Structure 1
Amino acid sequence: MDFLYLQHRCAIKKDYPNLLDITAAGHLLAYETVYDGVREIKEEIDIDAAFDELVPLVIIQYYQTKEDFIDKELPNVFLYETAHSFDDFTLQPEEVSRLC
């Protein structure tokens, strides 16, 4: 049986709390490349994955302005196929409240 997991963002997140998001998402530092982003998988759901195991899906140009907040991103979205069960994930509670 195949599943697509989304994360429910923690209620204390500054940006977009309590909303669904792609699982294991994060921001790169100025000197990092998209390859460095694989660390977010380990940090947020405690799964070791190599970049070459990811299947590229899309790069989204995203721009949102709200009051005093500007969110301008270029998210690279990947698919990670795994045999891990739901119980194999250990969530980073300050980032992810649950997977669904």
Structure 2
Amino acid sequence: MAEMLTIFDEKGHPIGIKERDHVHQDGDWHETFHCWMFHMEGEKIHLLLQQRADHKQDFPSLYDITAAGHIEAGEDILLAGVREIEEEIGLKVVPGELAYQGDFKEELKEGSLLDREICHIYLLPWTSDRTFTIGEEVKDIVSVPLVDMEGLMDKQESVKGVSILTEKEKAVTRNNLVPHEKRYERYIFHVIREYVAKL
């Protein structure tokens, strides 16, 4: 059965329901859940990036948000988020663990794809006693220092990540990251630093 999404106008008002494939073809605004996980190594913040599976239709093999997905029509945002986290990376979380960081409107373009998302952004601190069990949509989970991710925005060519699953080193570059808008990345890095400063 086709995944049905609520679509919105430019001002964020719901205007109907449409099949997911048609939403992307037509460039309709729709809701997504974004969960950025991070962990601390001493004073250093490390982001956890999901490496998308090689067979994914959109942005295969690229590094992206730790866990994310579409919110189906009529679905509660937090319950959708909990579902996506378990489906993609095998962590069982409860809604109260997710720290809401606001909404962000972003447009991603690739070929004929126009993905216009109203992103509901959440943070989740991760500790090594929580084991990832990746689903078929995910290839790896890679830890990268936040300061290095910020460096990638300023033309640094490559940074070193480490797989949480295999402990192997992985190179992260602008070319193997999902091409989010720079202003989205700046927003994410800012809210993570603010969140950690209050811990």
**TM-score for the superposition, normalised by structure 2:** 0.45
Percent of residue pairs bearing the same amino acid type: 35
What's the C-alpha RMSD, in Å, of the aligned pairs?
A: 1.9
Structure 2 counterpart of 1:59, which letter?
D
Corresponding residue pairs, total: 98
Larger Rg: 2
Once the 2 structures are TM-superposed, how far is the Cα of residue 69 of structure 1 from its aligned partner? Answer: 1.8
Post-superposition Cα deviations, 1:17-57, rounded to whole Å, max 9, x if no partner, equal 12111112111111112122221111111111011111122
Match of 1:97 among 112, 118, 139: 139
C-alpha distance in 2, partners of 1:22/1:90? 16
C-alpha distance in 1, partners of 2:102/2:119? 8
Structure 1 counterpart of 2:113, which letter?
F
Match for residue 101 of structure 2? Answer: 57
Match of 1:31 among 62, 74, 96: 74
Structure 1 counterpart of 2:95, which letter?
F
C-alpha distance in 1, partners of 2:72/2:122? 19
Higher relative contact order (CA 8 A, sep 6+): 1
Match of 1:16 among 53, 59, 63: 59
Larger helix percent? 2
List alignment gaps of at least 5 residues for structure 1. Answer: none
Larger strand percent? 2
Match for residue 83 of structure 1? Answer: 127
C-alpha distance in 2, partners of 1:59/1:36? 17
Once the 2 structures are TM-superposed, how far is the Cα of residue 66 of structure 1 from its aligned partner? Answer: 4.1
| Alpha carbons of structure 1 residues 66 and 42: separation in structure 2 relative to 1, 3 Å | closer
Match for residue 70 of structure 1? Answer: 114
Which has the larger displacement, 31-40 or 62-71? Answer: 62-71
Match for residue 14 of structure 2? Answer: none
Q: Secondary structure of 2:92's match?
A: coil
